[in-house]
Amino acid sequence: MGYEPTGKDMNSYIEDYLEHIAGYRGLSDATVKTYVQDLGTFMNFLEMMEVGDLRNVNRRTVRGFLAFLADKNYQRSSISRKLSVLRGFYRWLVTEGVLSVDPVPRRSTMKKEVKLPRFLTNDEVVRLIDSPKLGTYPEILRNRDVSLLELLYASGLRVSEVHGLNIGDVDFDSKTVKVIGKGDKERLTLLGLAAKSTLQRYINVDRLKIKDFDKSDSLFLSKQGSRLSIRSIQNLVKKYARLAGLGNEVHTHTLRHSFATHLINGGADLRVVQDLLGHSSPSTTQIYTHVTGV
């Protein structure tokens, strides 16, 4: 037997529903508390709109609720969660025979919020690349790190791709770098003039001074002569970002984002940028048009 909608207020149905999901679905107390809060927000909205009966809620009401949440500056992820909770509640009401029609759309009308990547300005890139010169490392390591930062930015490489580079992957004549990217796909990416200059000095002068340099083909060596690890590269970028006054939220990928953003700002074709970054889908590269406003 289903519930009779008359003689029972909306809050009573919510209590019954919460008891149902807590027992039947085995949700944690924290999750149930979230359901209480989300449904409470909806009830407050209905009260504000002077809707006193669940049977009077229709799709226009639901759309109004979403607009109300957006107007209150709720995050999209929070709005999507509230909509999902509301969908479950109304589906239960229909199953229990309280309502014959579910007014909540089956598909979410809220698109998932896309987090736009942070990128550095040209001036910030210069400050970051120059920052090793402010450190107390031996000169050979400072020059190595300048070359590393130049290459990360000028070629838009992933940290794993830089980690895997060997000396033979760099072609100074064509100003390109051969990269093995995701899925072991090989591609060529660009080597800017500044990166070419610093890399040539590092390879021909500074790298030769690192211990056991001749025992490895790795492009970037640690001071012990082994391939510079991914973690070490990440830590170096973070260290120099702080030294340059750029804060704690600059990572290796920030330089990749900056590379792509500056290319598009300069008028580069989206497909060209996609190829240089090694993206398999243009939709992945498309995010940079949102960052730049192109």
| CATH number of the structural domain spanning residue 62 | 1.10.150.130
CA atoms 42, 48, 49, 54: torsion sign? positive
288 is catalytic: yes
pLDDT at 6 over 70: no
172 and 28 in one domain? no
- Among the options 82, 158, 196, 238, which is catalytic? 158
Q: Between 3 and 54, name the one with better pLDDT.
A: 54
74 is catalytic: no
In a domain, 2, yes or no: no
Q: What is the mean pLDDT of the chain?
A: 85
Q: Between 193 and 3, name the one with better pLDDT.
A: 193
pLDDT for the residue 162: 94
In a domain, 224, yes or no: yes
184-211 average pLDDT score? 91
Domain boundary among 95, 111, 139: 95
- Among the options 144, 163, 256, 257, which is catalytic? 256
Here the CATH number for the domain that contains residue 223 is 1.10.443.10
173 and 45 in one domain? no
In a domain, 84, yes or no: yes
Residue from 180, 174, 125 nearest 151 by CA: 125
Question: Could you give the CA distance from residue 52 to residue 61 in angstroms, rounded to a whole number?
Answer: 12
**How is the chain split among helix, strand and coil, in percent rounded to 5?**
60, 5, 35
251 and 153 in one domain? yes
158 is catalytic: yes
163 is catalytic: no
81 is catalytic: no
20 is catalytic: no
Residue from 100, 89, 102, 104 nearest 2 by CA: 100
Domain boundary among 80, 95, 110: 95
174 and 81 in one domain? no
| Structural domain boundaries enclosing 30 | 10-95
